Amino acid sequence: MKKILCNWYYERQDLTKHLLELTEKTQLTFIAKHHRPQKDERENLASENLSIIYWGDYNSPYQILDAVQPDLVIFHDIEAFNQIALNIAAKNRKIKTYVLQHGLRGGYEVDDAFTNAAKNGKMEISNTSWWTLKFLLRSLKLKNLLHLFPLIKFIVARKKNELTVALYKNQFELRRADLYVEFSKANATYHKIRDGIPDNRFVLIGNPSYDDFYERIKNISQEVNTEPYALLIDSPFLEANFVQKQRMSTEEKNGYIKRLNEYCKQKKIKLLIKLHPLSYGAAYLYTDENIQYARNADIVQLIGRAELVFLVHFSTLAPLVIHQKPFFFFGNKYFEHNDFISSLSIPIYDLINFSPLELANSEPHPPLKAEAIVDYLFIPDGKATERLKQLILS
């Protein structure tokens, strides 16, 4: 049975589902967190041939490789010192390494990082910084001495620059995986520009998270919805840093929720808000009898039954939504929309300053044809997971 070591966000069901399907024919070991929590995380995943390990239990990447004995190492990205260390050790052991994309990204993020570099400041020193640096240095062997200078240069640059800026300025082979598994042509531009990855290392498979969407959405959209609603797929502009250090204020977030609700009341429909997991525990969100908040909900059901959708961020779901439903798209200064949205020539409303009347005097943009978003959807056939399996098991 093939053994795979996977540096992955295993707590996100939407990001892990397609990997768990591999456990039918592979032994899968997840590593993501530094410290071992008190609770048993293995129970949450409920899959055979699966285990979880923690960075802090090992002093070097070779100890991890000795413990797992992987045939393949899969990263969600190679950017942190411990990830680079594991990549170096795997290369030294002649173990293949893949980066598997996990979200919608693009080369525009590199430009954004340079634009906001002054706001981002320098890297903060954490409780594990010294451990991480030693962990990286212990990955080096004599064969790596030719790459020692660019590695040291990157370490210094990382102390002085924002992460993406430091990565872009320090592109060298020890940081690169053998293969980059991307959702689409547009997604591949992020690693291509940031890390200088050549075209022959990219494999496009589509987005596994979309696989069951295509079949289910047809039936759900035909169901009769007795209580029509508009769906807001929210983003944690208040709860998360994103690119910039500045966060949205509570007043601003509640302000746009309130104004969207006023528009919905004018249209005599409910406002259903799908919260991001970082906002699940928020007690400060604006409430109204016309608003319903959804947390652990079936997002395909929510999209399928919606009359229209409010998009405030070009997230992983965005290409599906704008292909299936009428929509309003909103931009804001806390997380800039990408160049793909700009290229579509669709109206972009200011999330902080729009008025309900402005929306009422407009119409939601009709769904876009698949040809318009092919660079993001790749092949909308629901077989991305199948292509991933073939790639990993071959």
| Rounded Cα distance, 297 and 117, in Å | 36
The helix (run of H) or strand (run of E) holding residue 156 is helix 148-160
Give yes or no for a contact between 22 and 47, defined as CB atoms under 8 angstroms apart: no
Give yes or no for a contact between 236 and 256, defined as CB atoms under 8 angstroms apart: no
- What is the predicted pLDDT for the residue at 119? 47
**Do the domains 210-377 and 2-207+380-393 match in fold?**
yes
| Rounded Cα distance, 354 and 350, in Å | 5
Would strands 348-350 and 327-331 be described as parallel, antiparallel, or unpaired?
A: parallel
* Vertex 110: Cα angle to 109 and 116 (nearest 5): 85
- What is the predicted pLDDT for the residue at 292? 96
pLDDT tens, residue order, the chain (394 aa) = 899 999 998 887 778 888 988 888 899 999 999 988 877 776 666 567 899 999 999 999 999 999 999 999 999 999 999 999 999 999 999 999 999 998 778 887 888 788 776 544 555 566 677 899 999 999 999 999 888 899 999 999 988 888 999 999 999 999 999 999 999 888 899 999 999 999 999 999 998 888 888 778 777 766 667 789 999 999 888 887 654 557 889 999 999 999 999 999 999 999 999 998 888 888 899 999 999 999 988 888 899 899 999 999 877 778 888 888 999 999 888 776 666 677 777 899 999 999 999 999 999 999 988 777 777 777 778 899 999 999 998 8
Q: Which amino acid is at 370?
A: A
DSSP type of residue 124: P
- How many other C-beta atoms are found inside a 10 Å radius of the C-beta of residue 382? 16
Closest-CA residue to 350 (of 261, 239, 230, 252): 252
What is the tens place of the pLDDT at every residue in 134-143? Answer: 999 999 999 9
Q: What are phi and psi of 100, to 5 degrees?
A: -110, 115
Sequence ranges of the domains in the chain: 2-207+380-393, 210-377
Q: What is the DSSP string of 127-154?
A: TTHHHHHHHHHTT--GGGGGGHHHHHHH
**Assigned token pair, 286:** 């604006």
Give yes or no for a contact between 99 and 191, defined as CB atoms under 8 angstroms apart: yes
CATH 3.40.50.2000 fits 2-207+380-393, yes or no: yes
- How many other C-beta atoms are found inside a 10 Å radius of the C-beta of residue 221? 14
What is the tens place of the pLDDT at every residue in 5-31? Answer: 999 988 877 788 889 888 888 999 999
Q: Which amino acid is at 9?
A: Y
DSSP type of residue 243: S
In the numeric block, the tokens 């768990």 are attached to 20
Give yes or no for a contact between 117 and 161, defined as CB atoms under 8 angstroms apart: yes
CATH of domain 210-377: 3.40.50.2000
- What is the predicted pLDDT for the residue at 104? 76
Strand arrangement, sheet containing 348-350: 291-294, 270-274, 229-233, 308-311, 327-331, 348-350
- What is the predicted pLDDT for the residue at 228? 93
